[in-house]
Amino acid sequence: MGKLRILTVCGNGLGSSFACQMAVEGVLKGLGVDCKLDHDSVSSVASAARNFDMIIAAENFKTQIESANTGLPCVFLHRLVDKKEIEEKVTPVLKDMGLL
């Protein structure tokens, strides 16, 4: 597997998801995981998913993202920029993927 590709998602794909992307970037750097991140809107998830290995979004988009049936591991956050919460929730997924 090359770089882990993560998509952060919010309503419009340019504000909250962008801030979240940067928080995730910081966490993964700290964990020593090489990754490539991007952000997009929740309405684009179904089509964008094939270019990614993991999706991270706010809890309020859970139903919408799950119904997109991306087949990707999804992490849902209460606080989009909380590095502690991100690390706690992403670490088990990375372990499942064999990256940690």
Partner 1 sequence: MQFSEMLKPENVRIVQSVDTWEDAIRLAVKPLEEGGYVEPCYADNIIEATKKMGPYYVLTEDVALIHGRPEDGVLKQQFAVTLLREPIKFSEDSFEVRLLVTLAAEDANSHIDAMRVLASIFCDADKIAQIVSLDTAQEVYDAFVEAAAE
Chain contacts with partner 1 (rule: CB under 8 A): 10-16, 18-20, 22-23, 26, 39-40, 58, 60, 79-83
CB within 8 Å of 40: residues ≥ 6 apart: 7, 8, 9, 13, 17, 48
Amino acid at 63: T
Task: Say which amino acid occupies 39.
Answer: H
Indicate the residue among 83 and 95 with the shorter CB distance to partner 1: 83
**Closest approach of Cβ 11 to partner 1, in Å?**
4
**C-beta of 98: minimal distance to partner 1 in Å?**
28
| Cβ–Cβ < 8 Å for 53, 97 | yes
53 versus 61: smaller Cβ distance to partner 1: 61
